[in-house]
Structure 1
């Protein structure tokens, strides 16, 4: 693939075809675990690892999988990766494992992962497939962190609370108390607050897309006038 194609893959994963903002997938873990930015970051990293390796493996074996059994094989590979991630978190990040709970095994049912494996990795080489998995994983992670940050900030006045406990001591530097002695807003910690914040993020993306489109049209119009 050309360099431009790689740029398009990154643009799709991070923004244009973002798992949440573009495809509206994985809303169950999105709402359940994003009570804090730390939880969102942990869930995002776990999903990113599964998506990256699953895309790589499917791309490597796509030539020997018959169309009739491709979906069961894809699900088996994803389940194996989720099991390894689940065991890793239980062994090395047990506090985060306890917080995320059932939503780690449920990564297997994440339509975004199976969708990318089926629509992209099974039709492309290993390099582009890994880039696609990485871009989609990072795109999902930044939305998780942003949504969790919004709910945590206005819900309890902190950012990345207990990050060192959940993710390890190396993440202690990101723990912040933005509003000391803040009583908190319970609504934002509860699921309705998650939907409110997600709606604001979606509205922000739509406004940004419209402004970018208007800017591109203005630039194209100027170039056409100059060439004429």
Structure 2
């Protein structure tokens, strides 16, 4: 597998941001009351993450080491302002639903983590692949979580009724506690799949995907040291 494919695919499962390396949990839990909200936030993160990786990778030899974090935040903040203006112009109802969590993308640990751990150490093509993989994985995770909560809490998906007429929604699923319940359900399902996959391969125990090394997102930088 080529390096570009490897960097792209890791974000879709092995290092899936909210469920594997536990990055970006604040918007993951806060805005996913519906699938639409999750998809909208995910799309905004893909835009910011991809462009920030490209810019930081292109300028990695110019940015002074001592002020690199401040420079990363400036780049990210500029892109987030662009996203805000675009959403206000073309998706204002969604912008109102996401609220404060759109400008908070500036300090999203996923954005800064990929800038520090990957984009500042690799070329533009690899940084694009990393950003797209992580961004798409993040967007898919938020959409899945939002879809589960919306179906169980409202009986709809993207606002379209999908449950039978006598279905009684569990309204707490679209409230704050429902986010933790749905997250737990997804993590339990993924862990069960890992155990099944490990037994199928004859392994004694599944490889941990939530290790401290993985959660920092800097495995490519430290090389296991």
TM-score if structure 2 supplies the norm length?
0.86
Q: Please, which runs of 5 or more residues in structure 1 have no aligned partner?
A: 162-174, 219-228
Alignment gaps of 5+ in structure 2: 204-225
Q: Which structure carries more relative contact order (alpha carbon 8 Å, separation 6+)?
A: 2
Asked whether 1:61 is paired with 2:59, we answer yes
Give how far 1:31 is off: 1.4
Aligned residues between the structures: 203
Instruction: Report the structure number with the largest CA radius of gyration.
Output: 1
CA contact (8 A) 2:4 2:125 kept: no
In 1, distance between residues paired with 2:177 and 2:198? 32
1 CA distance for matches of 2:153 and 2:56? 41
Q: Is the 8 A contact 1:18 1:140 kept in 2?
A: yes
Residue 121 of structure 1 corresponds to 119
Partner of 1:109: 107
Q: Is the 8 A contact 1:157 1:180 kept in 2?
A: no
C-alpha contact 1:55 1:117 (8 A) present in aligned 2: yes
Give the equivalent residue in structure 2 for 1:47.
45
Q: 1:82–1:104: 8 Å Cα contact kept in structure 2? A: yes
Greater share of residues in helix: 1
| CA distance, structure 2, for counterparts of residue 9 and residue 179 of structure 1 | 42
Q: Could you list the structure 1 runs, at least 4 aligned residues long, displaced by more than 6 angstroms after superposition.
A: none
Q: SS in structure 2 opposite 1:16?
A: coil
Q: 1:131: which partner in 2?
A: 129
Is the Cα contact below 8 Å between 1:156 and 1:182 reproduced in 2?
Answer: no
Task: Tell me the residue number matched to 1:210.
Answer: 195
SS at match of 1:123: coil
> How far apart are the structure 2 equivalents of 1:34 and 1:179?
23
1:215 CA displacement: 3.0
My pick for the range that moved more, 179-188 or 16-25, is: 179-188
Asked if the contact 1:158–1:179 (Cα under 8 Å) also holds between the matched residues in 2, the reply is no
Superposition TM-score, scaled by structure 1 size: 0.85
Query: Partner of 2:73: helix, strand, or coil?
Result: helix
- 2:13 match: secondary structure: helix
SS in 2 for 1:63: coil
**Equivalent in the alignment of 2:213:** none
Change beyond 3 A, Cα 1:74–1:153: same
Give secondary structure in 1 for the equivalent of 2:168. Answer: coil
The alpha carbon displacement at 1:51 in A equals 0.5
> Contact conserved, 2:57 with 2:123, CA < 8 A, in 1?
yes
